[in-house]
Amino acid sequence: MKKLECILRPEKLEEIKDALNQLGFHGMTVSQVLGCGQQKGKTEFYRGAEININLLPKIKLELVVNDSEVEKLVDTIIEIARSGKIGDGKIFIYDVHDAIRIRTGERGESAITEF
């Protein structure tokens, strides 16, 4: 199993979620993060003082999937998430040692298989 950790633009979330659902992936975990990278934040004025907003709101989408499904998912996500402008984000892929479904105690791939 692999974990896909995708750092994305917040406004893309809904669309990606829909696309994944259509591919049959319903399980995922989402969190708010702040990203820093080549995408430059804005310099704003607050009461006359400059303020550098260099931590930009991003979405982290975590998906644990079977090894065989990684490429298909990566392609789908890239397709939707890409705007071509700096700041589109990254996908990091990690090995997963094991997975357990709390409700049933199933382990391994069956823990992430839906019925």
Partner 1 sequence: MKKVNKVAFCMFATLLIIIIGSLYPARADDFIETEKVTKAIDNIWVLLSAFLVFFMQAGFAMVEAGFTRAKNASNIVMKNLMDFAIGSIAFWLVGFALMFGKDMGGFVGTSGFFLKDNFEHLQLNIPLMSFLIFQTVFAATAATIVSGAMAERTKFIAYCLYSAAISLLIYPIVGHWAWGGGWLSKMGFIDFAGSTVVHSVGGWAALIGAAMLGPRTGKYSKDGRVNAIPGHSITLAALGTFILWFGWFGFNPGSTLSGLDEKIGYIAINTNTAAAMGANAAMIFTWIKYKKPDVSMTLNGALAGLVAITAGCAAVNIIGSAIIGCLAGILVVISVEFIDKRLKIDDPVGAVSVHGVCGAFGTIMVGLFATETGLLYGGGIKQLLIQATGAAATFLWTCATIFVLFSIIKGTVGLRVSEEEEVEGLDVIEHGTTAYGDFVLKP
Ligand X SMILES: Nc1ncnc2c1ncn2[C@@H]1O[C@H](COP(=O)(O)OP(=O)(O)O)[C@@H](O)[C@H]1O
Could you list the residues that contact ligand X (CB under 6 A)? 7, 27-29, 35-39, 56, 58, 62-64, 86-90, 101, 103, 112
Binding track, positions 39-78, relative to its own copies; x by CB under 8 A: ---------------xx--x-x---x---------x--xx
Contact 102, 27 (CB under 8 A): no
CB of residue 48 to ligand X, shortest distance in Å: 28
- The Cα 5–Cα 60 span in angstroms is 7
- Determine how many CB atoms are found less than 10 A away from the CB of residue 105: 8
